[in-house]
């Protein structure tokens, strides 16, 4: 079959492309089946107020409990679905799971905020707000102020008028917003002025390198300054060590999230972890470091 004529080469190439399309299709089908089978779940990563030494909430992060491959992260399966309506179904599921957790956690931690990552395609749908309203109505005991939506700074740039309008409608329900991966999306200050997000999340790539790369240090410092100027709160992600935390506090950022505090964990571990964290000395020491 594999005669090396030009014609056959072309055929081979076509078949290869076709194969790729099929693989994509198959992978989407697998994700859809996983969703139906209840194999998609959420892990939670704590957010810490370093100065107070107190956990202020959690970020919900999607995981696939794969029967053969174990726990699979979202970067391995979201890219094949995020440009299809499957991401909307997954997003609604994620919101329900997070709200169900809040129903439980609310009793012992009424001040917590749980944040959920929302894909641009989901968020920008014309029916996003009515769908969200209906989902919230399924959890009448959860105050909407305990829910925060994280949207990528880059996706907020698509159609700022539309994005702003949806944000305002959600905020009228009591929900808050964070701009995720802030600093990577090329947004100008005039955009930030028009986006009513309460929180800026400094992208982890800048945080991770800020102790060794002066440009990243200046970037982190600039985002903190921007947050202050625009009266937003600011949280750093990718805080892997106590040194990162101490540097952030010197720069004026007191909220942090990262492996240095905790890796994302199953929902069932969260309350025990939080109870034990209060006695972890490292971050309390960091919180007491002098600020110059
Ligand atoms: P993100 O929202 O920026 O989340 C932060 C990612 O960095 C998470 O990866 C988290 O596990 C990881 N991380 C946290 N702290 C550290 C650290 O100190 N060091 C390092 N190296 N990494 C850290 P994860 O869970 O693999 O999620 C990746 C991305 O997938 C998320 O980035 C978010 O954009 C997306 N994602 C996650 N869950 C969902 C979801 O439910 N829906 C949608 N639409 N997207 C999601
Ligand atoms: Mg996020
Ligand atoms: Mg992020
Ligand atoms: Mg990210």
pLDDT tens-place string over residues 128-165:
999 999 999 999 999 999 999 999 887 766 788 999 99
Token code pair at residue 147? 């829910």
Tell me which H or E stretch contains 87.
helix 86-108
Under the phi-then-psi rule, with left for phi > 0, alpha for psi from -120 to 50, and beta for the rest, what region is 163? alpha
Taking CA atoms only, the protein residue closest to ligand 1 atom 26 is 73
Atom index in ligand 1 nearest the CA of residue 180 equals: 3
- Residue to probe by mutation, ligand 1, list 41, 48, 61, most atoms within 8 Å of CB: 61
C-alpha distances in Å from residue 53, one per residue of 150, 228, 235, 254: 23, 22, 14, 10
Segment 17-48, tens digit of pLDDT: 677 777 888 999 999 999 999 999 999 999 99
Q: Which residues line ligand 1 (CB under 6 A)?
A: 45, 61-62, 73-75, 78, 91, 94, 117-119, 150, 180-181, 204, 237-240, 258-259, 264
pTM for the whole structure:
0.92
- Going from the Cα of 61 to the center of ligand 1, the distance in angstroms, rounded, reads 6
């Amino acid at each position: 079959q594999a005669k090396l004529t030009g014609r056959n080469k072309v055929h081979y190439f076509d078949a290869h492309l076709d194969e790729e399309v099929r693989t994509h299709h198959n992978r989407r089908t697998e994700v859809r089946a996983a969703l139906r089978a209840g194999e998609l779940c959420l892990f939670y990563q704590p957010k810490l107020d370093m100065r107070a030494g107190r956990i202020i909430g959690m970020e919900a992060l999607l995981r696939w409990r794969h029967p053969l491959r174990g726990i699979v992260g979202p970067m391995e399966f979201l890219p094949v679905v995020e440009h299809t309506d499957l991401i909307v179904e997954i997003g609604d599921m994620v919101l329900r799971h997070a709200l169900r957790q809040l129903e439980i956690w609310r009793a012992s931690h009424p001040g917590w905020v749980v944040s959920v990552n929302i894909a641009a395609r989901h968020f920008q749908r014309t029916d996003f707000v009515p769908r969200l309203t209906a989902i919230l109505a399924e959890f009448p005991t959860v105050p909407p102020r305990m829910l925060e939506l994280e949207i990528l700074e880059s996706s907020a740039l698509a159609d700022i008028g539309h994005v702003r309008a949806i944000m305002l409608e959600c905020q009228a329900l009591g929900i808050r917003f964070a701009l995720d991966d802030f600093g990577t999306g090329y947004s100008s200050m005039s955009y930030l002025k028009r986006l009513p997000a309460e929180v800026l999340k400094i992208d982890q790539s800048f945080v991770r390198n800020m102790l060794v790369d002066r440009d990243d240090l200046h970037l982190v410092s600039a985002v903190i300054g921007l947050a202050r100027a625009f009266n937003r709160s600011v949280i750093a992600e990718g805080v892997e060590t106590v040194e990162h935390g101490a540097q952030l506090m010197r720069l004026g950022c007191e909220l942090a999230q990262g492996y240095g505090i905790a890796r994302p964990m199953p929902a069932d571990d969260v309350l025990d972890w939080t109870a034990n964290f209060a006695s972890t000395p490292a971050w309390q020491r960091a919180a007491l470091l002098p600020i110059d």
